[in-house]
């Protein structure tokens, strides 16, 4: 088990994958509470086997029973394997043979008196070697030599047989057992360590494993300036890593995080930060108390360029998670329709586009419409459509087209009309005549909400009737790109009647054998030529 300080020292130097793992744990706790974290720790590989997780099932029970779950509680939990076993490559009970956190027996069994681990097994009443009552070292009840005696006196709770010692000091050591009872028992390495007896001594002479030194840190180092509340190095590291994890989840890059740590977070935590008026600010009680101040930092304004301008425009504040969701959807649309490459070629970043859209109160639904029915529709159409858009609306190239549709000040209905008009005009050029149709007619067509397929089918059918719009002597001057399109798409009922009248007259002439040529002194058909 590691201390808080050791853990955060380790995390500070860990790679992104390791940090991501602990961020995942934090996310689990935020979304599903401690139970979600426990379930993950029991079966991190999702094999269905809860006995081979990061923690044992008994450790999970203890965590659930704690008022404030704390896996770093050294009095409740221990690693199944010691350092020597891990170094030797001995397989543990954890995932893929790794080490596993387990719970002391005393926390699993209320009747137990003292927890025992593989690192600190209890000793027997008799010492491990033969010897006399005293060793050869200095001090009372000490010794390091070997002897030949065995205990002649039955064991009692007050007079256990305990081994002699190997160091200086009273009643300490780890040597062989003595032959006579000792009114002040030697505890070896302590009541739980090697050389200790089965009989528990309430006041043992404690050695290297005395309670309080198993996992404890040295005295906290004061990192705050004189005259202000102090903060230990452990607390500072914890706070720093907590805030760094929050910044990473909010999408700040490594360089931005480094600047925030150096220029704001660390000085604020130490109490050395000075505000704009030159007044030192006291450190916060909790690291999380700094988060509201993040919104005013310059790095935040760079990372979320639409946040403050949105407020200045009079709109409500947007939640950071909603901002991040907006970014995700924007990137999805750009990738889906191949627009990311267009942005890369332009002079503006996706961050700038997104900031403008959010500050302009363009919803995700509106964004979808602008892209799917605007930009993508034009770019996926024949080349004549983009050319027509550029001719009528002044943009030059695909990037300019995208920029016009991502302009939050542009009305969505206006953008839809432009896209529809460019489609109507471009397809007319491709199918009917290079001169195309007028801008006004194209915008009238856009208002009728014809699909691209419907337009193409109408233009194709109209192209097959081109001779109807080649006027003969005495006929009105009809143009296929004017009266023809108007009649085909039902834009003007009067024009429709006039075109249909010509069609009927031509049909009657053909049936009667008469009819006039477009030009010349002779008629073209039948009786009129006789």
Q: Which stretches of 34-130 are assigned E, i.e. beta strand?
A: 77-79, 101-103
Per-residue pLDDT band for 35 (boundaries 50, 70, 90) equals confident
- What's the rounded Cα separation, in Å, for the pair 498 and 341? 49
More confident residue, 408 or 7: 408
What is the DSSP secondary structure assignment for residue 97, as one 8-state letter? Answer: G
Tens-place pLDDT, residues 345-391: 767 788 998 999 999 999 999 899 888 877 877 777 788 888 888 88
For residue 332, the tally of other CB atoms under 10 A from its CB is 12
pLDDT of 325 reads 93
- What's the rounded Cα separation, in Å, for the pair 494 and 509? 23
How many angstroms from the chain centroid is the CA of residue 48? Answer: 26
Tens-place pLDDT, residues 135-187: 444 444 444 444 444 444 444 444 444 444 444 444 434 444 444 444 444 43
Indicate whether 255 pLDDT > 80: yes
Cα within 13 Å of Cα(128), Cβ side: 11
Residue 174 near residue 166, CB atoms below 8 Å: yes
Per-residue pLDDT band for 441 (boundaries 50, 70, 90) equals very high
Tens-place pLDDT, residues 273-282: 988 888 888 8
pLDDT of 80 reads 87
| Cα–Cα separations (whole angstroms), residue 37 to 25, 42, 43, 100, 401 | 6, 9, 10, 15, 48
Tens-place pLDDT, residues 461-479: 998 888 888 888 878 888 8
For the chain, the domains span 4-108, 233-303, 467-517
Residue 175 near residue 131, CB atoms below 8 Å: yes
Kindly report the pTM of this predicted structure: 0.46
Query: Mean pLDDT lowest for which of 13-27, 48-62, 293-307, 409-423?
Result: 13-27
Interacting residues of 473 by C-beta distance below 8 A, sequence separation 6+ = 516, 517, 518, 519
Per-residue pLDDT band for 17 (boundaries 50, 70, 90) equals low
What is the DSSP secondary structure assignment for residue 273, as one 8-state letter? Answer: -
pLDDT of 8 reads 58
CA 377, 383, 389 angle in degrees (round to 5)?
A: 65
């Amino acid at each position: 088990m590691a201390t808080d300080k050791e853990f955060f020292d380790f995390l500070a130097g860990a790679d992104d994958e390791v940090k991501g793992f602990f961020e995942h744990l934090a996310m689990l706790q935020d979304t599903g509470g401690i139970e979600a974290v426990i379930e993950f720790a029991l079966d991190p590989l999702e094999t269905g086997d809860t006995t081979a997780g990061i923690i044992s099932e008994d450790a999970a029970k203890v965590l659930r029973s704690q008022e404030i779950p704390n896996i770093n509680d050294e009095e409740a939990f221990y690693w199944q394997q010691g350092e020597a076993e891990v170094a030797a490559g001995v397989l543990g009970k954890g995932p893929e043979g790794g080490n596993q956190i387990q719970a002391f027996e005393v926390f699993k069994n209320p009747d137990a008196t003292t927890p025992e681990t593989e690192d600190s097994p209890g000793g027997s009443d008799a010492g491990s070697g033969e010897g006399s009552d005293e060793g050869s070292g200095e001090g009372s009840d000490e010794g390091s030599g070997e002897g030949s005696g065995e205990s002649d006196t039955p064991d009692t709770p007050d007079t256990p047989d305990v081994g002699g010692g190997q160091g200086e000091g009273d009643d300490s050591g780890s040597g062989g057992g003595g032959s006579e009872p000792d009114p002040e028992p030697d505890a070896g390495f302590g009541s739980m360590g090697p050389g200790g007896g089965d009989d528990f001594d309430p006041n043992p002479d404690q050695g290297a494993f005395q309670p309080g030194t198993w996992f404890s840190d040295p005295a906290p180092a004061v990192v705050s300036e004189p005259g202000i509340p102090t903060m230990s190095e452990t607390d500072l590291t914890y706070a720093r890593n907590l805030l760094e994890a929050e910044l990473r989840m909010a999408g700040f890059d490594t360089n931005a995080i480094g600047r925030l740590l150096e220029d704001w977070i660390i000085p604020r935590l130490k109490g050395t930060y000075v505000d704009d008026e030159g007044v030192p600010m006291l450190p916060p009680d909790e690291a999380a108390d700094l988060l509201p101040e993040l919104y005013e930092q310059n790095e935040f304004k760079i990372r979320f360029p639409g946040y403050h301008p949105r407020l200045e425009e009079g709109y409500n504040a947007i939640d950071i998670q909603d901002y991040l969701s907006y970014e995700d959807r924007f990137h999805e649309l750009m990738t889906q329709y191949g627009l990311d490459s267009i942005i890369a070629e332009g002079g503006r970043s996706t961050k700038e586009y997104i900031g403008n859209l959010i500050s302009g109160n363009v919803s995700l639904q509106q964004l979808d419409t602008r892209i799917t029915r605007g930009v993508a529709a034009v770019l996926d159409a024949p080349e004549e459509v983009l050319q027509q858009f550029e001719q009528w609306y002044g943009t030059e190239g695909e990037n300019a087209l995208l920029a016009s549709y991502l302009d939050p000040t542009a009305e969505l209905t206006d953008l839809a009309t432009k896209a529809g008009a460019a489609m109507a005009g471009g397809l007319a050029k491709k199918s009917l005549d290079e001169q195309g149709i007028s801008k006004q007619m194209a915008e009238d067509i856009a208002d009728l909400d014809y699909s691209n397929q419907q337009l193409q089918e109408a233009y194709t059918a109209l192209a097959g009737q081109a001779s109807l719009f080649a006027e003969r002597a005495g006929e009105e001057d009809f143009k296929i790109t004017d009266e023809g399109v108007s009649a085909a798409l039902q834009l003007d009922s009067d024009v429709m009647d006039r075109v249909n009248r010509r069609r009927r007259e031509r049909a009657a002439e053909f049936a009667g054998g008469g009819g006039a040529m477009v030009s010349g002194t002779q008629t073209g058909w039948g009786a009129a030529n006789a």
